[in-house]
Structure 1
Amino acid sequence: MTRQPDAPRHVVANPGDADTVLRRLTRDGWVARDGFALPDPAWDVTGSRLVLHGRIGDPDTLQLAVLAAARGAGIVAVCDAESPLGRALIDDLARLGPVHQGVTEPVGGNNTVADLVPEQRALLDRLAAGDTIAAAAAAEFLSLRTANRRIAEARAMFGVRTTREAVLAYLRQRGAPPRSH
């Protein structure tokens, strides 16, 4: 079996977080499908770029999700990661590769920083140094509107809701310690 190593495996706390992750994955070319039962009889579904999603509420659903992940499907599971069922799910999925908990990428997971355009990196660097968005935009010779758009795109790439969370995620993935004010 040739399983794609970057098939996404996410465990999130609520349906809102699942929607955020699913929006990002569909933007990246994945096809979202509700439920964990695979429609394709072929064992390896890697090439279909299928991501299955739903709530994990019982051991049978957990088994379906893990089997789908083993067959190459992406998974976005809504489950309490601290519950026994959630811990079992994360342990089983971790045997297949990295498991993302929540909407942000884990350390050692996909490198969103590498996907940022240079303008986004420059803006996030300036924001991390304490500049306002307006000051960062001016320093990078961008309009405020363009700077806000680039930062919004970065928030979406990191799967976070606020600019502060985007800056922190950027610093974590870049390996730089956050500044304290």
Structure 2
Amino acid sequence: MIKQPDAPRHVVATSADAETVLRRLAREGWTPRAGFALPDPSWDVGVARLLLHGRIADDDTETVQLAVLAAARGAGVVAICDTESPAGRALVDDLSRLGPVNSGLDGTEAVANLIPEQRALLDRLAAGDTIAAAAAAEFLSLRTANRRIAEARAMFGVRTTREAVLAYLRQRQRQPE
């Protein structure tokens, strides 16, 4: 069986950003569809390369649940919402558990999308720890630590862990406290 690539997960601030992402993903073979409810009764919709999109209101937990379920079933998701709202934070947190979430068009907001485990691991790696030592210090299995670091590499758009640590440090310095 051929492994399908991970479905894209984007959380953007404006309709214009969403349109840009949708156009790019459509060129890559994804089929855009408005709304987050899945029409297909089969569980895995990844092979259909379905890309669901829409706006999520600041207090709309039902739509957040639909978007996360769609992503878990293999659909791509492009959500327009405020990531500072409770629903936006919940959406990013839940989608992050499935894999990398892109919230910027150019990847410069990757640090903001890292889950606490990824931040802690990257901080420890930056301090000189090995992945095994960082995993043990954070009470994670080595496998989970490697997965979290791989997700961080994907968010930063780099190939090596060293590059991910450097990108993390650069972007962390640029962010206001």
Same fold (TM over 0.5): yes
C-alpha displacement at 1:104, in angstroms? 2.4
The corresponding residue for 2:25 is 25
Q: How many residues align?
A: 121
| Structure 1: segments with no counterpart, 5+ residues | 115-171
Amino acid at match of 1:11: V
Q: Which residue of 2 aligns with 1:59?
A: 61
1:89 paired to 2:134: no
Partners of 1:4 and 1:72 within 8 A in 2: no
Spell out, residue by residue over 1:134-170, the C-alpha distance to the aligned partner (whole angstroms, 9 max, x if none): xxxxxxxxxxxxxxxxxxxxxxxxxxxxxxxxxxxxx
Distance 2:18 2:41 in 1: 26
Following TM superposition, the consecutive aligned residue runs of length 4 or more in structure 1 with deviations greater than 3 angstroms are 2-5, 110-114
1:44-79 superposed Cα distances (whole Å, 9 cap, x missing partner): 001001110001121111110000000000000001
Larger radius of gyration: 1
CA distance in 2, matches of 1:91, 1:3: 25
TM-score (norm 1): 0.58
Could you tell me which residue of structure 2 aligns to residue 68 of structure 1?
70
Structure 2: distance between partners of 1:89 and 1:3: 26
Aligned residue for 2:154, secondary structure, equals coil
State yes or no: 1:109 paired with 2:111.
Answer: no
Q: Is the 8 A contact 1:66 1:93 kept in 2?
A: yes
Aligned CA RMSD, in angstroms, stands at 3.0
Instruction: Kindly indicate whether the alpha-carbon contact (under 8 Å) linking 2:68 and 2:91 is maintained by their aligned counterparts in 1.
Output: yes
Verify the 8 A CA contact 1:9 1:75 in the aligned structure 2: yes
